[in-house]
Amino acid sequence: MNPLKKYLFNERNGNGHALGPIQEIDVPMRRFGEEEVDYVVIGVGSAGGVLLQRLARAGFRVLGLEAGPFWNTERDWVSDEAGSHNLYWEQLRITGGTHPLALGANNSGRGVGGGSVHWAAFTPRLHPSDFRIHSEDGVGIDWPMTYEELKPYYEQLELEMPVAGPAYYPWGDPHGYAYGPHPMGGAGDVLIQGCTKLGIGVSIGGPVAILSGSHGDRQHCIYRGFCIQACKVGAKASTLITHVPDALRSGAEIRDDSMVSRIHVNKENRVTGVSYFDVHGQEHFQRAKAVIVSGYAIETPRLLLNSACPGHENGLANSSDTVGRYLMAQAGNVVLGRFHDLVRIYKAPPAHALTEEFYETDSKRDFARGFAIQTVGPLPIAFAKQMMTAKGAWGWGLRRIMMDYNHWAAIALLGEILPWPENRVQLAEAKDRFGIPVAKVTFGLHDNDEKLIEFGKNKVIEVMGAAGAEEVVQETRFAHLVGAARMGTDPRTSVVDKYGRTHDVANLFVCDGSILPTQGSANPGLTIQALAARTGDYLIAQGESIFNTNHRDMMQPAIRRDLAPPGTYGRGVPRLANLTS
């Protein structure tokens, strides 16, 4: 029996497949079967969703292999914390080092849409300085590209998601958003009050990839507060609803529940295809003319390391010994303040106001780089765990403080941690259910990181106090993951070039958060999608030469706005239409 489902949507839901209360897909999906495709994209998340859409629209035969399920949002998603575990990559990973990272719910997605299904959807851009921190501050490494190269893609993806935010955003490269900002919730009010009292500028109502007004077949936000549990409303952007529908309409195929175990390379050092396990545990080989790995900062290096073979003994595309190294998380200390009056923090999206006033290096401080301060919105279980660590609460004490849940507000640090070679992903001895070795993650902080966190944490505490909190506590934690297959110009110190092509294998690409050489203090989602659209344009411009030659053409492609999903143009606030270059 061919385990590949022929018509995924019809099989699962006779009346079409819900991607929100209004949006639906009812087209049978194209099926390539075992025939060779042009591109296999491994992982259909933030980057993979955009890549599939671009490549399919340009006419390539493209197949996405996704380890998790293809969601039917009405059936599979719930407004419930404990009921949302299946959104996260919760399979075994080993974590260690001096500051072990918690993995899973707050940083790893699974299923079509990947992390963009459960992100809070803050979408700040990186600042121009982020692309050259080694030149400017002598730390980290410079990007192999400038902000100006990525800027058109920031503008483009802000329209495709689209992003709601203020008409004027003052930090980094000042810009504005074509969609209006959101109203405030309790955490936003606290951030505004605290910042205003201290004379700190604050951005209200965005930038977030959440609809402030209805848009095509997606409805506007209803402020229910369950963003991180996946947006059943369809207001928060995920590639599942912004790019995947157009990818399928354009002839892409997505095979869900398909866990890639190995990438194959032939004697000519060309990728020939991938092995993957289907939902029944049966192994398949899929031939492809080129492969793009979009598995994010842990699964991408894990797959490359697990694909070691003659000629690539230390892991595929790892002649630099950089695969898995320079893994980064951002400092994410959550500061919680108790207020005399009720806050009811569970309403409104967790992400709705922020400040980047402390983003850049300041010579008056004793560390390089900086941080942002953002709203967060812990629901009861997350809040209880925060109180366990922030206050040591347990037993009756935990019950007591939880009865005060509605009096507490939370805002958080988002601080830049620099890339370090010993912060890395390796293979553990333990194996997953398919027998594939799992990832072992090692993480630790350095002097600059610790000074930055100490200063940043105290600044957030100061803001919380200025907002009028009676009691202020904080929980040390980390947010997001990037790095571990970084891009660069030097093949001796990086895995891929600035278009995501591995230095070692000409028809193997990496495109996801793992290629970021440094991370700034911006949530990575927008940058990842912008990079994916740019890599898409590069691949499309290169055409067949990717499949036939080892020639590496570094010419910058022209941006292909015409390949965006329909409905991207002519929307938003008209006076900002000219902002896109």
Partner 1 sequence: MKGRTSVQPGYYPGFSTLGQQANWDEATRATVLKRVARSLELHFFTPEEAPLIEAIFEHILPQIDRDEKYRIPIVPVVDERLHTNRLDGYRYENMPPDQEAYRLGMQAIEEIARGKDGRGFLELTPLEQDKLLRTLHDGKPEGAHHIWERMPVHRFWMLMVQDAAEAYYAHPYAWDEIGFGGPAYPRAYMRLERGEAEPWEVEEQRYEWEAPEDSVSDIYELISGHDLHQATPGQGGTH
Of residues 79-118, which lie at the interface with partner 1 (CB under 8 A)? 79-83, 85, 88-96, 98-108, 118
Q: Angle formed by the axes of helices 395-403 and 380-391, to 10°?
A: 130
By CB under 8 A, residue 13 contacts partner 1: no
Residues in the chain: 581
Q: Give the interface size with partner 1 as a residue count (CB under 8 A).
A: 100
Q: Please, what is the minimum distance in Å from the beta carbon of residue 98 to partner 1?
A: 7
Instruction: Indicate which single residue of 113, 165, 185, 194 sits in contact with partner 1 (rule: CB under 8 A).
Output: 185
Q: What is the DSSP letter of 30?
A: P
Applying CB under 8 A, which of residues 71, 154, 346, 420 lies at the interface with partner 1? Answer: 346
Taking CB under 8 A as the rule, does residue 391 contact partner 1? yes
- 375 Cβ partners below 8 Å, 6+ apart? 185, 187, 188, 190, 191, 350, 351, 352, 353, 354, 410, 411, 412
Among 70, 77, 499, 509, interactor with partner 1 by CB under 8 A: 77
Q: Taking the complex as a whole, how short is the minimal distance between the CB of residue 23 and partner 1, in angstroms?
A: 14
Q: Tell me: does residue 69 bind partner 1 (CB under 8 A).
A: no
Around Cβ 450, how many Cβ atoms within 10 Å? 14
**Terminal alpha carbon distance of the chain:** 52
Written as six digits, the tokens of 101 are 């990272």
Listed in sequence order, the DSSP H helices in 430-576 are 447-466, 525-542, 545-548
According to CB under 8 A, which residues from 303 to 342 bind partner 1? 332, 334, 341-342
**Contact present, 229 and 105 (Cβ < 8 Å):** no
Least Cβ distance, residue 377 to partner 1 (angstroms): 7
Residue 111 or residue 273: which is nearer to partner 1 going by CB? 111
Task: Enumerate residues 233-252 that contact partner 1 by CB under 8 A.
Answer: 233
Task: Name the DSSP letter for residue 213.
Answer: S
Contacts (CB under 8 A) with partner 1, residues 404-423 = 404-406, 410, 412, 414
| Dihedral angle of Cα 19, 23, 26, 32, to the nearest 10 degrees | -50
Judged by CB under 8 A, the chain residues 144 through 183 that form the site for partner 1 are 183
Residues 206-225 that bind partner 1 (CB under 8 A): 222-225
Instruction: Give the footprint of partner 1 on residues 477-506 (CB under 8 A).
Output: 477-479
> Does residue 78 belong to the site contacting partner 1 (CB under 8 A)?
yes
CA atoms within 13 A on the CB side of 39: 33
Identified binder of partner 1 from the candidate list 4, 198, 308, 402, rule CB under 8 A = 402
Question: Hey, which residues between 17 and 56 contact partner 1 (CB under 8 A)?
Answer: 21
CA gap 62, 52 in Å, rounded:
7
Give the position of tokens 């851009």.
125
Under the criterion CB under 8 A, does residue 526 sit at the interface with partner 1?
no
Rounded Cα–Cα distance for residues 502 and 316 (Å): 9
Nearest to 343 by CA among 405, 287, 425: 405
Binder among 10, 13, 272, 389 for partner 1 (CB under 8 A): 389
CA distances from 407 to 336, 370, 404, 519 (A): 10, 30, 5, 34
Nearer to partner 1, 193 or 502 (CB): 193
Nearer Cβ to partner 1 (252/479): 479
- CB-nearer residue toward partner 1: 108 or 319: 108
Q: Which is nearer to partner 1, 165 or 500 (CB)?
A: 165
Q: Provide the angle, in degrees to the nearest 10, between the axes of the packed helices 447-466 and 186-198.
A: 100
- Output the smallest distance, CB 342 to partner 1, in A: 3
AA identity, residue 60: F
Closest distance between partner 1 and the C-beta of residue 547, in Å? Answer: 37
Residue among 223 and 547 whose Cβ is closer to partner 1: 223
User: Per-residue contact track with partner 1, 358 to 377, x per CB under 8 A?
Assistant: ----------------x-xx
Q: Give me the phi and psi of 193, to 5 degrees please.
A: -65, -45
Neighbour-count burial of 402, counting CB atoms closer than 10 A to its CB (0-12 exposed, 13-18 middle, 19+ buried): middle
Write down the least CB distance from residue 390 to partner 1, Å.
8
Sites for partner 1 among residues 241-300 (CB under 8 A): none
Touching partner 1, residues 429-468 (CB under 8 A) = 440-441
Give 286 or 330: the residue with its C-beta nearer to partner 1.
Answer: 330
Closest residue by Cα to residue 412 from 354, 366, 470, 451: 354
